[in-house]
Amino acid sequence: MRFDVITLFPELFAPFLVCGVTRRAYEAGLVEVRLWNPRDFASGNYRRVDDRPFGGGPGMVLMAEPLTLCLESVWAERAVSGAAAVPTVLFSPVGQVLNHADVERWSASSGAVLICGRYEGLDQRFIDTFVDHQISLGDFVLSGGEIAAMALLDAVARLQPGVLNDEGSHQMDSFNLALDGLLDCPHYTRPEAWRDQLVPQALMSGNHAHIERWRREQRLALSQRQRPELIQQARLAGHLSASDEAFLADLIENPERDA
């Protein structure tokens, strides 16, 4: 798959693409990333890409023409290289909040053109004409779309075959259907005792059924306390057993209990 990233700051991506476990996805060509700067398509001595907003107000707005010329160049280069036609995505506070199901869909796609906004945003006429999807990371505002683009690329890259050391490790991540969409449980490693804190005895028992039940209850408890809507979604999907429901009922009745 191939992602073409339109950004005024392509240099931000250089260290991201060569660090960490996901670099394997980029080095192996499982996820190809190409960077495009709309300033290269702006006219005039100063290569200006923004201007004041009509109607007044603070900040500057990215102009439609440099973005359009840049996007058309992306399309032309993709066509010459034989890359598949893909949607155009804008990272924006008004977009749909990215979730695990979205990441899984993108990880199985041919990629996308990712547009990283800056300043007060983009000329709405460009958005209306070219943008197919808008994505947000949550109810807050970033200085630009670059961090959001990196988040999507990282999430997609780690789902590619051979990227993680353990092929099945991502299946045990929070929100994965293998966990019924719940949050993951706590994890512990050596030493067994650390600053007067011990590893839970259930994990030291050697009883795999007991360990799995402990982990299940931890996932249920953490999801109930931190993200109760995930419990409701799992319930509606029929993922909760009678013992799960009994545990949750007891947890609600005794919220201070140790799961």
Query: In this structure, are residues 147 and 180 in contact, taking their beta carbons and an 8 Å threshold?
Result: no
Q: Do residues 136 and 91 touch, judged by C-beta distance below 8 A? A: yes
Element holding 116 (H helix, E strand)? strand 111-116
Q: Which of 173, 184, 227, 235 is catalytic?
A: 173
- The three-state secondary structure class of 50 is strand
Q: Which of 78, 118, 158, 215 is catalytic?
A: 158
Tell me which of 10, 53, 87, 93 is the catalytic residue: 93
Is 219 annotated in the active site? Answer: no
What pLDDT does residue 256 have? 75
Give the fold, CATH level 3, of 175-253. Answer: Trp Operon Repressor; Chain A (1.10.1270)
- State how far the Cα of 93 lies from the Cα of 95, in Å rounded to an integer: 6
Per-residue pLDDT of the chain (259 residues; tens, 9 = 90+): 999 999 999 999 999 999 988 899 999 999 999 999 999 999 988 899 999 999 999 999 999 999 999 999 999 999 999 999 999 999 999 999 999 999 999 999 999 999 999 999 999 999 999 999 999 999 999 999 999 999 999 999 999 998 986 555 555 566 677 679 999 999 999 999 999 999 999 999 999 999 999 999 999 999 999 999 999 999 999 999 999 999 999 999 988 766 5
pTM of the complete model: 0.89
87 counts as catalytic:
no
Rounded distance between C-alpha atoms, residue 218 and residue 214, angstroms: 6
How do the domains of the chain map onto residue ranges?
2-157, 175-253
Question: d(Cα 149, Cα 130) in Å, to the nearest integer?
Answer: 18
Please provide the DSSP assignment of 117-150 as one string.
-BTT-B-HHHHHHH--EEEESSSS--SBSHHHHH
Choose the catalytic residue: 65, 102, 104, 120: 120
- Starting at the edge strand found earlier in the chain, the sheet holding 2-6 runs 32-36, 2-6, 111-116, 88-97, 133-136
Query: Between helices 208-226 and 228-236, what is the axis angle to 10°?
Result: 120
CATH architecture assigned to 2-157: 3-Layer(aba) Sandwich (3.40)
Instruction: Please indicate whether the domains covering 2-157 and 175-253 agree at the CATH topology level.
Output: no
Can 173 be counted among the known catalytic residues?
yes
Residue with tokens 């512990």: 188
Please state whether beta strands 50-51 and 61-62 pair in parallel, antiparallel, or not at all (unpaired): antiparallel
Q: What helix, strand, coil percent values describe the chain, rounded to 5?
A: 45, 15, 40
58 catalytically annotated: no
